[in-house]
Chain A
């Protein structure tokens, strides 16, 4: 049917068995490196910042997955039914992020300068004004609140989805829809809260009303690219072979394109408003990020996070081509660089440094999250089994039971 050359149409599954142990190995190597950073006092500061960057990276994937589930229910979408189990399982990994948050909770008093000011009762003017949120009890309580909300919504959404696999009841769809309705508000509030507390308050004097949206745009961008690649692998390997079709890949590609532009729009707006107003209370954040090689990193974000994917995705046929795989890898790299740009200039104001603890903590979390995701994915059916919109997502029309001609029903009964 298709004239496009989609890599997913290749018939033979790839032999991925030799990659099976990769997550465990990553976890092991990364775990050892991180442990050294944790235990050796001179590395502890670098470790806590490296850990924060990796933590925010994998949090992006979990929250992005949750967002895709929410949007699926809010729009009553049919196309995303076959990929929903992927995003549901991705979202549910957020419970492990609570575990990975422990080192940040422990080292927070050294990472966030405002905590020291707050503890010594010597707040500067900015901290005095922002004290309602930026105080030590609120920091921990709000963090617990975020994880609790995320755990509740992600597990509930998957619970009702799995319940529908069993019963096929429309009630489950209604439940998920209500969860999505309240969930999207919870999503916006908690994501903003989390990113303000954990990333933005590293420089508590700074102002930006875009910051939550900024992290959200980058996170969903990363997640769409990741879901594309995961779905492609699952289609080739079998579990989603019959159910995922060109439509799903095309729409994921289009969404990726949209979020490429959306991210650029948000980041440019943040920069432009600060540049234009030219007030020292705001500009210092970007001034720090123009020092040393951070200048080049900033340009890399402009051209690599926006221009390259934008120009690549502009053509309609790219969204179904092999180019989407290198683009997925590129999205991981760019989002990581973006988070480095946000977090690391505080520790390394002279320029970008790729420390072995960056690689260690990232490898550990990548292995840990991949293992957990694969375990979850293998434990449940690979796609929603009895979703009312399933046939529609496959492009098949099924007449509703109420429209079956009465005579035929009567005839059948006789």
Chain B
């Protein structure tokens, strides 16, 4: 089955963080879209080297937080002041001060939900399988090697030219990854 289908992409191995940074800059400048970098630890400045824009997760978090705050306030107002009025300590039936702590906590809760589920959604996770997981050497990405993977689905992908590009970036180990 693997022999006839189109490969998933091309994988290039690098030995140092500096090498992978330069490779990422080269791939970025060549205008690729469907590609990624895998490193054993976070490499500072990689987002810029890859030309990544600021993540959109913040918006999910913001909307989650705003929803949490509003629903907290509305809920407390409805429950304590409208549906079943509870007079406590001579205080008003509804006061934004009194309702603030629970609303604030709901802000944090739904903000965190927004962040985590937004992140999962944007990353298309959870995913049960990924072609790279079959690749033997890719395991080293959690050890001491750095990888660039360019997908065949990228409009600029060409087996020979992309391979040449990665070679010129200094990779000594380039392979095709089966789908």
Report A's interface with B, CB cutoff 8 A.
1, 3, 268, 271-272, 275-276, 278, 314, 316-317
B100 contacts which chain A residues (CB < 8 A)? 268, 272
Contact of B97 with A by CB under 8 A: yes
Residue among A271, A275, A276 having the largest count of chain B Cβ atoms under 10 Å: A276
B90 contacts which chain A residues (CB < 8 A)? 278
Contact of B98 with A by CB under 8 A: yes
Using A314-B62, A317-B54 as known contacts, say yes or no to A272 and B101 having CB atoms under 8 A apart: yes
- B62 engages A278 (CB within 8 Å): no
Contact of B153 with A by CB under 8 A: no
Interface of A is mostly: helix
- A272 engages B54 (CB within 8 Å): no
Q: In the complex, A317 Cα to B97 Cα: how many Å?
A: 32
- B98 engages A316 (CB within 8 Å): no
A314 contacts which chain B residues (CB < 8 A)? 62
Q: In the complex, A317 Cα to B58 Cα: how many Å?
A: 12
- B97 engages A316 (CB within 8 Å): no
Kindly provide the distance from the CB of B73 to the nearest chain A CB, expressed in whole angstroms: 15
Chain A residue at minimal CB-CB distance from B90: A278
Kindly provide the distance from the CB of B157 to the nearest chain A CB, expressed in whole angstroms: 26
A276 contacts which chain B residues (CB < 8 A)? 97-98
Report B's interface with A, CB cutoff 8 A.
48, 54, 58, 62, 89-91, 97-98, 100-101
- A1 engages B48 (CB within 8 Å): yes
How many contacting A-B pairs (Cβ < 8 A)? Answer: 18
* Interface contacts beyond A1-B48, A316-B54: sample of 16 additional A-B pairs, CB < 8 Å, sorted by A: A3-B48, A268-B100, A271-B97, A272-B97, A272-B100, A272-B101, A275-B97, A275-B98, A276-B97, A276-B98, A278-B89, A278-B90, A278-B91, A314-B62, A316-B58, A317-B54
Interface of B is mostly: helix
The list of the 9 closest CB pairs from A to B, nearest first, reads A275-B97, A316-B54, A272-B97, A278-B89, A272-B100, A268-B100, A271-B97, A1-B48, A276-B98
Q: In the complex, A3 Cα to B53 Cα: how many Å?
A: 10
Kindly provide the distance from the CB of A286 to the nearest chain B CB, expressed in whole angstroms: 11
Kindly provide the distance from the CB of A365 to the nearest chain B CB, expressed in whole angstroms: 35
Kindly provide the distance from the CB of B24 to the nearest chain A CB, expressed in whole angstroms: 14
A272 contacts which chain B residues (CB < 8 A)? 97, 100-101
Chain A residue at minimal CB-CB distance from B51: A3
B89 contacts which chain A residues (CB < 8 A)? 278
Chain A residue at minimal CB-CB distance from B98: A276
Q: In the complex, A276 Cα to B96 Cα: how many Å?
A: 12
Q: In the complex, A314 Cα to B54 Cα: how many Å?
A: 13
Kindly provide the distance from the CB of A389 to the nearest chain B CB, expressed in whole angstroms: 16
A317 contacts which chain B residues (CB < 8 A)? 54
Chain A residue at minimal CB-CB distance from B101: A272
Kindly provide the distance from the CB of A118 to the nearest chain B CB, expressed in whole angstroms: 35
B97 contacts which chain A residues (CB < 8 A)? 271-272, 275-276
Kindly provide the distance from the CB of B84 to the nearest chain A CB, expressed in whole angstroms: 21
Q: In the complex, A278 Cα to B101 Cα: how many Å?
A: 17
Kindly provide the distance from the CB of B86 to the nearest chain A CB, expressed in whole angstroms: 15
Chain B residue at minimal CB-CB distance from A247: B44
Chain B residue at minimal CB-CB distance from A269: B101
B98 contacts which chain A residues (CB < 8 A)? 275-276
A1 contacts which chain B residues (CB < 8 A)? 48
Kindly provide the distance from the CB of B118 to the nearest chain A CB, expressed in whole angstroms: 15
> Can you give 8 contacting A-B residue pairs, CB < 8 Å?
A1-B48, A268-B100, A272-B97, A272-B100, A276-B98, A278-B89, A278-B90, A278-B91
Q: In the complex, A275 Cα to B95 Cα: how many Å?
A: 11
Kindly provide the distance from the CB of B67 to the nearest chain A CB, expressed in whole angstroms: 16
Q: In the complex, A82 Cα to B141 Cα: how many Å?
A: 36
Q: In the complex, A152 Cα to B165 Cα: how many Å?
A: 61
Chain A residue at minimal CB-CB distance from B89: A278
Chain B residue at minimal CB-CB distance from A277: B89
Q: In the complex, A226 Cα to B35 Cα: how many Å?
A: 43
